[in-house]
Chains A and B, each alone.
Chain A
């Protein structure tokens, strides 16, 4: 594998890590990055063992993160700290940016008010840019159910944001 290969684990990670971490935060805000790190390590182990990469590495990554994050939430156990870094739970999901078309904190509050099953679809569609079939594979529902939850989530967020008088920048 070369460094410019889009299926190279390192390249995959570089492009998807922020979205993966955001996704993991839906279940475990404090250990989101640990979860993502461990999943990435597993992916590298697959490549090192000479086995073929999963057919859809992106979907595999998100599915694996989902399973690991839920598992972390359920067990209540702290994940092993990754080497050399301390994972401080950041309350912020998004980087504040002058180019934001929407207030980051308000958007986060609106997302947090959504039911879990709607919120994760929004993350997968908006920030991971997965197609609805991929989302359906990750979450384990039908394509139409995935879209329905997405649509309902956006409608609910719209109401929330309007009620909160979200500041919009031109």
Chain B
């Protein structure tokens, strides 16, 4: 192989690598946030569905345990990468816990859960001040529309 051939082939390889790295990293960097958002929504949905189903169908003790699990997992996911979907799911989980505490005639516990729910709700985009009753009514309405 002549020197000219060696230089040509090496230049081709370097040029190819450079173009590939530039375009590959750029395309991937544009795609990754969307992948992450999709995964985030999917994981949150799995937790929220579990909480809703257990709240609707399980006995109060198991439902409360399940919702507490949802809160723990959602808070972990939130620490990993905060996102509006977990905030929404956390509001719902706390409101469901408060409704269960109401059912168990434990107003102090219910109030504590509603404080958490309101705090989370305030951080949501376009949220407005709502009363505890409004929050509970909206979660009950959403649950009924899914599990009549």
Does A associate with B in a complex?
Answer: no
